[in-house]
Chain A
Amino acid sequence: MLTLQCPYCGVAADETELSAGGEAHLKRFGPGSSEEEFHDYLFTRENPRGVHFERWRHSHGCGKWFHAARDTQTLEVFGTYKAQTTEPPKDIRDAITAKRPGWTWRDVA
């Protein structure tokens, strides 16, 4: 069972109180982009066994979207942070490095 702390209301929300929103920090490619870029935006996703960044919504609570960094294999949560963030903040990246030295994820690390 996954428990994520909502960065807006501070509640330690059980998984059943949340909705999963897929991979975090996708860059949108729309009109004017190449077919390749649009294809990747629509379909190409990370599917790691280990460190991952995701979007979640506190749907049965305060209703806000937020980000979470966790390990998909162990369900360990490295931290959560607000949706108004275009890349993982330094404290989150440091927390991951402390526990998973040498981790990689897209071009973030």
Chain B
Amino acid sequence: MSEPVSALNKAGFDGIAHVQEIGLQGMITLRGNLAAKDLKAAASAVAGVAMPGVNEANCEGERGLCWMSPDELLVLCPYDVVQANTAQLQQALTGTHALAVNVSDARAVFRVSGPVAREVMAKLCPVDLSPAAFSPGMFRRTRMAQVPAAFWMVDEQTFQIVCFRSVAQYVFDLLSVAAQPGSAVNLF
């Protein structure tokens, strides 16, 4: 077997916030009727957390469920069990109009952390990131400059970002520029 390597091999950058590619993360795209009992049960069984509401992320450590759209969830799990978890989902949803695909190697995952992490993200996304509008537990799909991205907050000072693997270097460079030393705006 080949040895899996994440897009940027855990590259990091230190500025007004710390930018880190976190390495391998198991990610499964699950599409189907999110109101269906079978699907909810299968997703929760694999992720070990309850179903998130609209625009919410329900995460614990490397596991979690993120609301992507009215018919799509992102299931998070440790990378080494992602194939087994995908098979488990497919097995549980046999005969149901649903789709579970392992997309771990098609994505890259970053963390931006520090007291001004909100500012770094706000420079790049058309999203209200004031503490009153966006807080841990919420989930947002949007764009970062020229590319699609999705993120949620692990805690009050940490964002976790998912983007396509093919634009991982671009997103790392974006975040690094937005986090340049001396570039704090002190907006929030």
Instruction: Name B69's contact: one of A8, A13, A16 (CB within 8 Å).
Output: A8
Interface pair B142/A64, CB less than 8 Å apart? no
- In the complex, chain B residues whose CB is within 8 Å of the CB of A17: 126, 142-143
> Is A60 part of the contact surface with B, judged by Cβ < 8 Å?
yes
Contact with A along B112-145 (1 / 0, CB 8 A): 0000000000000010100000000000111100
Task: Tell me the complex Cα distance, A17–B148, Å.
Answer: 9
- In the complex, chain B residues whose CB is within 8 Å of the CB of A63: 69, 72
Interface pair A61/B142, CB less than 8 Å apart? yes
Assuming the contacts A16-B126, A17-B126, asked whether A8 and B143 have C-beta atoms less than 8 A apart, the reply is no
- In the complex, chain B residues whose CB is within 8 Å of the CB of A62: 68-70, 141
Task: Tell me the complex Cα distance, A60–B69, Å.
Answer: 11
Task: Tell me the complex Cα distance, A61–B125, Å.
Answer: 12
Interface pair A60/B70, CB less than 8 Å apart? no
- In the complex, chain A residues whose CB is within 8 Å of the CB of B54: 9-10
A residues apposed to B, CB below 8 Å: 8-14, 16-17, 60-64
